[in-house]
A and B are shown apart, each in its own frame.
Chain A
Amino acid sequence: MASIRRRKAADSSTKEEEEKEIEEKEEDKDDKNKKNKKKKEEPSTGKDKKAKEKWSCVDSCCWLIGCICTIWWFLLFLFKAMPASFPQYVTEAITGPLPDPPGIKLRKEGLRAVHPVVFVPGIVTGGLELWEGHQCADGLFRKRLWGGTFGEVYKRPLCWVEHMSLDNETGLDPPGVRVRSVSGLVAADYFAPGYFVWAVLIANLARVGYEEKNMYMAAYDWRLSFQNTEVRDQTLSRIKSNIELMVTTNGGKKAVIIPHSMGVLYFLHFLKWVEAPAPMGGGGGSDWCSKHIKAVVNIGGPFLGVPKAVAGLFSAEAKDIAVARAIAPGFLDNDIFRLQTLQHVMKMTRTWDSTMSMIPKGGDTIWGGLDWSPEEGYSPGRKKQRNNDTQFSQSKNANYGRIISFGKDIAEAPSSEIEMIDFRGAFKGQNVANTTCRDLWTEYHDMGIGGIRAVADHKVYTAGSIMDLLYFVAPKMMTRGSAHFSYGIADNLDDPKYSHYKYWSNPLETKLPNAPDMEIFSLYGVGIPTERAYIYELSPSAECLIPFQINTSANGEDEDSCLKDGVYSIDGDETVPVLSSGYMCARGWRGKTRFNPSGIKTYVREYDHSPPSNLLEGRGTQSGAHVDIMGNFALIEDVLRIAAGAKGEDLGGDQLISYYNLAYYLSAECRLGPKRSVDLARKGNHIVFGRVF
């Protein structure tokens, strides 16, 4: 190499090329030398060239990846090196100073942790982890199957569905699979990374002095029926023992219970369970609740169920109960890839008994019949005017009572014109679906064409007849579920049959415990359109699909209509209609009623929804949505005050918005415009939710 260089240098010096070129040449030569080396490695010049071409592509790919990686790392480094308070600083620079989080604000006021706090998470939000699984779930021991990143859904979807399902007959573990709820605060602080559920509330409680010893997450396996959580995991016993422990170790201060969503029903069940004698109950004695519980602060509680649950069970089309839909939005109906996601989801969710706890309770009395519904029962001023105009406008009012109707015309027709054909005796034909969808079993395949037709011919279903419908389309599930849940209204609460656990989670079939010092709060968001009734149609292609689907083409006449994409919506928190979350505290338990013989004080606190003003706010500090309300500062402040010892009266009693809204809302044909919040509490507390009592 040295000799070559020398010679070349000499050559060039004889030519007109000057010294400055020498440098370059040397570089040149280095290049050449390298080329030589390469040549030695790959002797054939032709191949060499080809290789070069190929390489250049791979090279540039590599180069690109390298660049991206480097930039990514650099950004990551900057991000990591950034002081943690920077995002807040930017936000403040843009939006002006943020209000103090309630924890800091109240701490400045001198609030301190007093009462131990128990969280009861709702359906879906609690994490589940694997303790024992089939071969396909190797390496997932104690990893989250539900909650967290949901990485397994993508990697092994069928395996995942298999493990998340319960046994079809017992509603307990299938053989060889044990999936258990995650325990501790981590069970439901975040549902997925960055998607908080309880985390904000926990952080604020911690600011006033709460920590593990006086804060407890009553995590349970939300797929099971409530009594089965005790049978399989002894969850209710654990909750009892933990509440007792916390009351003892915190100087005898009673616990404040904060259930959310389905947790509300679960805790209602617990209240009855703990006082019932063993073996069915916890044997705590009839004064357990008054001794251990200061207040039950229900957040977004579906006391009377949610219409969404019906749609979920009927056609797996609920919007967010089945988060699974959100996880795979595009492929839902994709037959080509044989994904059949919806059917899988339906098959899986139908093994979950807990979904049945949310079926609307109280039948037509609460949810309205063919011609009336509590929401339209009282007429705001403007409607009266319209009544004077035409008869027609009356029928324009949504018939919320008809929870499922087949066809838009049916949903709007006066009841006298609807010809309903009883489906109950209808012959369930043989399985018409061909064998290709054998592997994917839903109970619809047992129904046959005849049954499906019969269901559609009945045209309209109210809350009462929906039970019959569900029994017809999903007999197995409903027989399993009816052993655990009941949906009626008790005529005589002293009937001894009501001591059975299946009535415990239905507020209309149980008495509240004898604990006059206890307080029950119902906190929920309002101002978001919430599913209330559905328009269905038969699916175009029979085959393996679910034979019914929401008729998304059914829309109201104008854009203000309550009917949109086949769904009638009403005021609520996006999941639970106001009626369900507010009725018990506003009326059913208010004062001394037969459901509340000891006169436990109840309070309704509503929070008007206002969406985040900009992206930086994340999910907002004034949200009223079902889950996002857990980050609502006003709600958190109320909870903190209660936990620090305040009574309902100290908070200002009731805080009602929906009554006014509802009036406004109907008159404006469902347009959810800006609203004024009205505190009706001081105006004599008159709530008119229909003609129930």
Chain B
Amino acid sequence: MVSSILRFRKLCYLEPAVRRSSSCSGGSAQKSSTETTKDDHDHDRHHNNFVVIEEKQRKRKSQQQQQRRQGSSWRCVDSCCWAIGCICTAWWVLLLVSQCLPATMPATESPGERLRREEGLVALHPVVLVPGIVTGGLELWEGKPCSYGLFRKRLWGGSFTKIFKRPLCWLEHLSLHNETGLDPPGIRVRAVPGLVAADYFAPGYFVWAVLIENLAKIGYEGKNMYMAAYDWRLSFQNTEIRDQALSRLKSKIELMYVTNGHKKVVVVPHSMGVIYFLHFMKWVESPPPMGGGGGPDWCAKHIKAVMNIGPAFLGVPKAVSSIFSAEGKDVSFLRAVAPGVLDSKLLGLQTLEHIMRVSRTWDSLISLLPKGGDTIWGNLDWSPEAVNSCDLDRKGNAQLSVGDRNLNHSDGTRGFQVKEPVKYGRMISFGKAASQISSSRLPSPDLKELLQLRSSASLNLSCGEVLTEYDEISRESIRRISMNKAYTAQNSFDLLRFVAPKLMQRAEAHFSHGIAENLDDPKYGHYKYWSNPLETKLPHAPEIEIYCLYGVGIPTERSYVYKQSPSDNCKSIPFRIDSSADGEPDSCLKSGVYFVDGDESVPVLSAGFMCAKGWRGRTRFNPSGIATYVREYRHKGPASLLEGRGIESGAHVDIMGNYALIEDVMRVAAGATGLDIGGDRIHSDIIRMSERINLQLAVGQAAEECKKCS
């Protein structure tokens, strides 16, 4: 192909000249030119005869000279045009061929078709899809003059062309108000409603589309499938205050319940949608005005099952880094949108700073911070995963079955006998050394002191326009922060409160990240606790089933090694991940990030703990004994390019195209129970990890006993 194009180009360089000579100078000239062409060849071959044809040649030369005067400027343009024409034509031909080809690829039969054919599955329970953060589309309803013509166009999702055309305008419209966490004045950006909200995130990048298509195969359609789209930038309670999103969801579920012959709904939340729906379940049963006033049996009456996909129940460590330094890897998809220019100060782009400023107005990010503090995520010396072997990408062998890994576990521990276990508990450490040395040699955290320091810190006024809150922090306190060396899940909150006071102040009115000692305390009636599974009880609905479906087998960010930014530029973010910190080839540390098993975004611990332990049986978080099931899907990359993002993927978003998962969801939607689809299916170490977490679970335990454990 390439060679033929090259030949074309060569031809094109020749042809115009020849053609022109033949067409412009009439018959005789044509003759002469053809003769000369022939002569040329002779000439090259025999080296004599030159004198004989000299005269002719001279004639020709003068002709060509003239022609070239007209032509030489043309040639380049011509050949460009020609090449473009060729490419276009080829493209069209290919396009035509691809259009004419039968649309069916010889792919494997989709689970929807198979289940319908083999088992006669048909739609039974209505399905509610709850999208996560980032994947939902947002559209403009009212904007500043710079957004002229974008009315009801997507600002988020779709092709993202607006970013390139008017980046600053775009950022301005996606930001929320810094104080209220709601719309800034004069701007209304709203969630796209309907299935289109999150079927595709960008053209060709499916989120829910595959699941929807498969559900449609067994008879689902608009009337029994609903996408509970909400503005994912807002805190959960604010979606109700501003858009009445929770009320709509309630009304839709009630409607579907009634119009589908009083069949309870199956809810399928994904990622952050999981905790959004947790919030909803508490909201709907709480009395108005704070709640939806559905009464204490609303969930029992309307919900059959909650099938959480890639649940971020206990938060994700990634959220810490993205708030701290805007460096999360794919929660902030932004980074992928503009990968190269991130640090280019030359252009004055300061992309990261802008991103940080915008994303810090989004309250919902706070909902993803790790919950449960050191009890869950580990302290300076201990973490529930600590003994876990880091074989995830070292072996490059994702098919390795659980059994194998559990059998090999002794080997793993033998390996670790030599070195210390990885200290995942240190969520943020400054310097690689600080992430590994024993805790006795670490300086004790003195953030309280820092907070005082802040008030007296003199502002560095030379910066002019303030981009991020870092600009208000003096260099001195930045130095002090990094002197602290290591932060656990618990005191990274202090850290965040220090570096992002406004965000944390605003958002902590909406979210809480602790562990309840006494769930009957009336303070837990407040909505800020509703999205934290460790501070709420599940509704009283023993017939509901809760599933945790998530991928395993992909290295997932768990803790970070930071350093101070080298540049003294006051506008830059003063910290960044120390990407030079690498462990030994088989270590969990890579480019400044410690990895652990998970689905690329959510560590197994966060996704599985509640279903595997926290809610298993009858615990204080689950007083009515709702059945829980853990279903893990081992990640297997796509076998070939044709498969796209794979049908056995375990990655956070790609898992929505995992056939095994889709099959499970469909079976449950068609009426199966958790036991029918095979109960638990565990590949990871989640059970062991959960055992290591010392969390009081027994029902009716006195508060004092809990004090002991925390």
The 8 Å CB contact of A56, one of B19, B89, B199, B248, is: B19
Closest to A61 in B: B85
Q: Please, how many angstroms separate the alpha-carbon atoms of A35 and B149 in the complex? A: 55
Contact between chains at B259 and A65 (CB < 8 Å): no
Contact between chains at A183 and B194 (CB < 8 Å): yes
- Residues of chain A from 1 to 37 with CB closer than 8 A to chain B in the complex: 4, 7, 11, 15, 17, 21, 24-25, 27-28, 31-32, 34-37
Known: A24-B65, A28-B61, A62-B85. A241 touches B244 (CB 8 A): no
Contact between chains at B190 and A11 (CB < 8 Å): no
Say yes or no: is A138 at the interface (Cβ < 8 Å to chain B): yes
**Contact pattern, B 314-332, Cβ under 8 Å of A = 1, otherwise 0:** 0000000000000000000
- Residues of chain B from 203 to 246 with CB closer than 8 A to chain A in the complex: 212-213, 216-217, 219, 221-223, 243-244
In the bound complex, residues from chain A placing their C-beta under 8 Å from that of B190 are: 211-212
Shortest Cβ gap from B98 to chain A (Å): 11
Closest to B251 in A: A245
Contact between chains at A63 and B78 (CB < 8 Å): yes
Most chain B beta-carbon neighbours within 10 Å: one of A25, A65, A212: A212
Say yes or no: is A383 at the interface (Cβ < 8 Å to chain B): no
Say yes or no: is A565 at the interface (Cβ < 8 Å to chain B): no
- Residues of chain B from 29 to 68 with CB closer than 8 A to chain A in the complex: 34, 37-38, 40-41, 44, 47, 50, 54, 58, 61, 64-65, 68
In the bound complex, residues from chain A placing their C-beta under 8 Å from that of B437 are: none
The 8 Å CB contact of B247, one of A17, A41, A63, A249, is: A249
Contact between chains at A131 and B216 (CB < 8 Å): yes
Closest to B103 in A: A139
Contact between chains at B193 and A184 (CB < 8 Å): yes
Contact between chains at B223 and A234 (CB < 8 Å): yes
The 8 Å CB contact of A66, one of B18, B83, B221, B247, is: B83
In the bound complex, residues from chain B placing their C-beta under 8 Å from that of A181 are: 222
Query: How many A residues face the partner with a CB closer than 8 A?
Result: 68
Contacting chain A: which of B8-16, B554-562, B584-592? Answer: B8-16
- Residues of chain B from 70 to 84 with CB closer than 8 A to chain A in the complex: 78, 80-84
Known: A36-B44, A141-B216. A56 touches B149 (CB 8 A): no
Known: A141-B213, A206-B141. A24 touches B37 (CB 8 A): no
**Contact pattern, A 372-388, Cβ under 8 Å of B = 1, otherwise 0:** 00000000000000000
The 8 Å CB contact of A37, one of B10, B34, B54, B149, is: B10
Known: A27-B68, A64-B85, A238-B255. A38 touches B11 (CB 8 A): yes
Contact between chains at A69 and B188 (CB < 8 Å): no
Say yes or no: is A180 at the interface (Cβ < 8 Å to chain B): yes
The 8 Å CB contact of B81, one of A38, A63, A185, is: A63
In the bound complex, residues from chain B placing their C-beta under 8 Å from that of A34 are: 10, 13-14
The 8 Å CB contact of A84, one of B15, B149, B244, is: B149
Contact between chains at B248 and A178 (CB < 8 Å): no
- Residues of chain A from 248 to 278 with CB closer than 8 A to chain B in the complex: 248-249
Taking chain A's interface residues, is the majority helix, strand, or loop, or is none over half, making it mixed?
helix
Contact between chains at A245 and B12 (CB < 8 Å): no
Say yes or no: is A39 at the interface (Cβ < 8 Å to chain B): yes
The 8 Å CB contact of A212, one of B54, B151, B193, B199, is: B193
Contact between chains at B82 and A66 (CB < 8 Å): yes
The 8 Å CB contact of A183, one of B13, B222, B255, is: B222
Say yes or no: is B104 at the interface (Cβ < 8 Å to chain A): yes
Closest to A210 in B: B141
Say yes or no: is B685 at the interface (Cβ < 8 Å to chain A): no
Shortest Cβ gap from A91 to chain B (Å): 14
Say yes or no: is B483 at the interface (Cβ < 8 Å to chain A): no
Which residues from chain B sit less than 8 Å from chain A, CB to CB?
Answer: 7, 10-15, 17-19, 34, 37-38, 40-41, 44, 47, 50, 54, 58, 61, 64-65, 68, 78, 80-86, 88-89, 102-104, 141-142, 148-149, 151-152, 165, 188, 190-191, 193-196, 199, 212-213, 216-217, 219, 221-223, 243-244, 247-248, 251-252, 254-255, 258-259
27 sampled A-B residue pairs with Cβ under 8 A: A24-B64, A34-B13, A34-B14, A36-B44, A38-B11, A41-B7, A45-B41, A63-B81, A63-B82, A66-B83, A69-B88, A70-B84, A85-B148, A138-B102, A138-B103, A180-B222, A181-B222, A183-B222, A184-B193, A184-B194, A202-B152, A206-B152, A211-B141, A233-B223, A237-B259, A244-B251, A248-B247
Which residues from chain A sit less than 8 Å from chain B, CB to CB?
Answer: 4, 7, 11, 15, 17, 21, 24-25, 27-28, 31-32, 34-39, 41, 45, 49, 52, 55-56, 59, 61-67, 69-70, 80, 84-85, 131-132, 138-139, 141-142, 178, 180-181, 183-186, 189, 202-203, 206-207, 211-213, 233-234, 237-238, 241-242, 244-245, 248-249
Beyond the given A62-B82, A66-B85, A66-B86, could you list 14 further A-B residue pairs with CB under 8 A, ordered by the A residue number?
A32-B40, A36-B44, A49-B34, A59-B82, A61-B89, A62-B85, A63-B85, A85-B148, A183-B194, A206-B142, A206-B151, A207-B142, A213-B248, A245-B251
